[in-house]
Structure 1
């Protein structure tokens, strides 16, 4: 889960206080196990309960922002269908040998499965995700549920992050879900339905899971505090809800962190930001302070460190944009948003996120700093932005030729003698 990886470094301080550490995080300990115990989205839970009472349940597509409760509803739905056996899951690394024409591809993926369902994230296989979709559904379709006590004659396949699947994988998913619909049901989960093809959406019952309101988050926090026998001031709960960005998972994790750091709670207690967010703020400051190959090399190392610590590249890029917008004038915000959207789209099409994050940082830093540091006093904002674009395009071409080409670029004179001929820009100015 996305927020779990973002929170892991920030939650490391719990290991220093053994007396208050539970074997389970509160976010897992107090997760509703059935549709009747759901606090948020009660209306959706009741509709799902009515749906599974029918003999023929359709394919389902759950979509909504991270931390809204999609996975909680899915697991409660599985328990409603299959009973307690849906909770008896095991984690295993599955391997497949796929015949891809003239060659055989070895694929390996981590799955979470019970006797009646299998859960996996096929996008983890990268551009080979279409083979995972084909093989796992075919394998499930060959075998009926082992649990004879179950009332349903089909298995359920839960696919996470469907919006990150390649177009080929989504087309393959559409074909296989039609072919094996008699013995297999699909529950798809994603953050954005706009990245899912219309062919898949038209074959599923779409269930929109909205982000919980602040009042609902406060209600859940007070429920957790009551279960833990804690005195939670209402004002402090409201502040946690405001800083959670309407993510219920993040709010509960923040409450548990504050419990470890300081208890009893107070209304004005400090809610520490996550370590990775502070690190991103440092990166944005470094890029606006100096635009040079040396600075870019240092920032690249910091971005690598965040990616290695399982910070999703999409989340990292959005957070970088947020920090840059806080530090730029309103005239340049549109320009920075343009580059962020441009590289977010390119990052989805490619496989190496670091290239696109670095390109966004470089061009955003150039747009934000060159436009004011290199322009003449009194120059209009529109002219400054034009100058920033010209220099940014030149430096981007240099980056394509490698770090050496960037290092030899003279920022003051705009010299291009060391550029490869096929990358030599024509739009450089000396300003």
Structure 2
């Protein structure tokens, strides 16, 4: 099964309207009310991967504009950087909205934000039958935007609100500047709990259709860690292994996750300065694939020893969370990665000596 097959499977059963969503009903009702109010604001949807942010954005667009937002086309736009370098960005759009991922342009995301949004904002809605007089702009991975791009976005939001509404999609708000957050209505989309995920998996199985044993569903939910998209992909992969979902089923781990667990094993097997250097300098910086971002190392590799060792302990996780903030604010991630490893090692070592860590920071 390739990625496109999986994506087709997910799109096939994705809810199309707010009333069809299976969880966070209060949030769905609020979005429906906003769409019908006639005073729709800029919005920021944030929450963990696989929680359903994009699905809720799509359903909100349908409530705003009708079924016309489902008639999509994909274009490739070329932008020129100040050094005349060509930047190719994929754009998904309908007559009523446009969806972009400026972070694809890397350090030149400001160019994409400035040129594309200015072009959209200065163009009025030409469809006289449109339910709204503005066009919606969906910005994916908003928390990956550079500071320059965020500053450009802020100015655009202030100047062109009459013809455009910005809908930001992000995993976290910590890397977004305050002026952007203050100009948006924040919508937190929390990860579904186990019961809600089981309802969705059973819905997918019923629509497919096939029988989903409860034990298999529970294994998938436990493995997915609250990521509903991952759970549906795993379900499809297991269905390819065994059409009746019986026998010995193996849930494959992605390469980056396996790599992160190996790094975590190094952290908990030895706590020493040399191991800090081996973990960060050799494993993370030199051997890790470029796509293995510091965030992944942070939340997966370094949280593995923390959650598996300390989850039954009552000590606060404030020292680790404060390091996460510093990692996002700092420019030299390797320094913060080293500090992170040292903190985890220290907590791990002191845990076995039953020491009071309340003052550890």
Q: What range is the shorter-chain TM-score in?
A: 0.7 to 0.9
Pairing of 1:218-367 with structure 2 (within 5 A): 218-266=198-246, 271-286=251-266, 288=269, 291=274, 299-300=283-284, 303-305=287-289, 307-308=290-291, 311-325=292-306, 342=323, 345-346=326-327, 349-350=330-331, 355=334, 359=338, 363=342
Structure 2: any 5+ residue segments left out of the alignment? 357-361
1:85-104 equivalent positions in 2, closer than 5 A: 85-97=68-80
Q: 1:138 to 1:285 in 2, by over 3 A?
A: same
Q: TM-score, with normalisation over the residues of structure 1?
A: 0.68
Deviation at residue 39 of structure 1 after TM alignment: 1.6
CA distance in 2, matches of 1:63, 1:29: 24
Distance in 1, matches of 2:326 and 2:96, equals 37
Paired residues for 1:70-219 under 5 Å: 70-97=53-80, 107-219=87-199
RMSD: 3.9
Aligned to 1:59: 42
For residues 290-341 of structure 1, give each alpha carbon's deviation from its aligned partner in whole angstroms, at most 9, with x where no partner exists: 9477887752477423x34xx44312321110234368789xxx9x995786
Q: CA deviation at 1:137?
A: 1.6
Select 2:33's aligned residue among 29, 37, 50.
Answer: 50
Distance 1:82 1:356, change over 3 A: farther
CA deviations over 1:199-239 (Å, ceiling 9, x no partner)? 22232222221211111100000011111221112233233
Q: Distance in 2 between matches of 1:358 and 1:76?
A: 39
**CA distance in 2: counterparts of 1:117 and 1:77, whole angstroms:** 12
Distance 1:302 1:262, change over 3 A: farther
**Alignment partners' CA distance in 2, 1:302 and 1:280:** 14
Q: For the Cα contact (< 8 Å) 1:137–1:176, is it kept in 2?
A: yes
Check whether the contact 1:89–1:112 (CA below 8 A) recurs between aligned residues: yes
CA–CA distance in structure 2, aligned partners of residues 137 and 144 of structure 1: 13
Cα 1:297–1:316 shift into 2, 3 Å: closer
Distance 1:349 1:38, change over 3 A: same
CA distance in 2 between partners of 1:135 and 1:220 (Å): 40
Question: Residue 11 of structure 1 corresponds to which residue in structure 2?
Answer: none
SS, match of residue 95 in structure 2: coil
Q: 1:120 Cα deviation (Å)? A: 1.4
Q: 1:219–1:89: structure 2 CA closer, same or farther, 3 Å change rule?
A: same
Counterpart-to-counterpart distance in 2, 1:38 and 1:328: 36
Q: Which residue in 2 is equivalent to 1:6?
A: none
SS at match of 2:51: coil
User: 2:91 and 2:335 mapped to 1: Cα distance?
Assistant: 30
Question: Which has the higher mean CA deviation after the structures are superposed, 288-297 or 226-235?
Answer: 288-297
Structure ID, larger Rg: 1
